[in-house]
Amino acid sequence: MQILRLSKIVLPIVGLMLVVTSAFAQMPEMKPEHKDKEHECRGHREHMMIPDLTDQQLEQMKAMRTEHMKEMQSLRNQVAEKKARLRTLSTADKVNMTDINKVIDEMGEMKTQMMKMREQHRQKIREMLTDEQRIFFDSHQPMHHEGPHHKAKPHMR
């Protein structure tokens, strides 16, 4: 009798847990290259939300954004090439740690360069804004997917 009552409570909870777990497991994980594009698009939308932008400011931002995206795309492609090279080196029969470390260092330099370019782009935009617009811009910075709460999850295949 008590087992029957307990099973009426436990079985629905276990079933609900299975449904929720399988739903989360089937959610597609965003690839890193798509995260960068989402970040740029989100940043672009936030620029458009800045109050009282003049047509001249909008045109300047559009031109700056296009140039910035071209430069960033080139670096993203280079990082992807290094990532592929790293995968090749790290899965070889005879692993050469010197070569692996060199590729990792090169990737780090490229990512540092990308961060510097992003910040330089932000500062150029800030320069063209009025004080009121700058306050809005500074208070609506895009979130960066870094830090302990945004650790990369291993890919399961």
The total number of structural domains in the chain stands at: 1
Any idea what the CATH number is for the domain that residue 136 is in? 1.20.120.1490
Query: Domain for residue 127, yes or no?
Result: yes
Q: pTM surpassing 0.75?
A: no
8 Å CB contact between 64 and 124: yes
> Which pLDDT value is given to residue 157?
45
Query: Domain for residue 33, yes or no?
Result: no
- The single-letter code of the amino acid at 125 is I
For 26-155, where are the alpha helices, taking DSSP H only?
32-48, 55-90, 97-127, 131-139
SS3 of residue 142 by DSSP: coil
Domain of 130? 54-141
Calpha distance 102→100 (Å, rounded): 5
> Which pLDDT value is given to residue 147?
47
Query: Domain for residue 84, yes or no?
Result: yes
Query: Domain for residue 37, yes or no?
Result: no
Question: Of the candidates 46, 59, 32, which has an alpha carbon nearest to the alpha carbon of residue 122?
Answer: 46
pLDDT digits (tens, 9 = 90+) for 52-86: 999 999 999 999 999 999 999 999 999 999 999 99
Furthest C-alpha separation in the chain: 78
End-to-end CA gap in the chain: 45
SS3 of residue 28 by DSSP: coil
Query: Domain for residue 73, yes or no?
Result: yes
> Which pLDDT value is given to residue 10?
75
138 secondary structure, DSSP code? H
Calpha distance 140→134 (Å, rounded): 10
List the chain residues with pLDDT less than 50.
Answer: 33-43, 46, 147-152, 157
8 Å CB contact between 155 and 29: yes
> Which pLDDT value is given to residue 48?
60
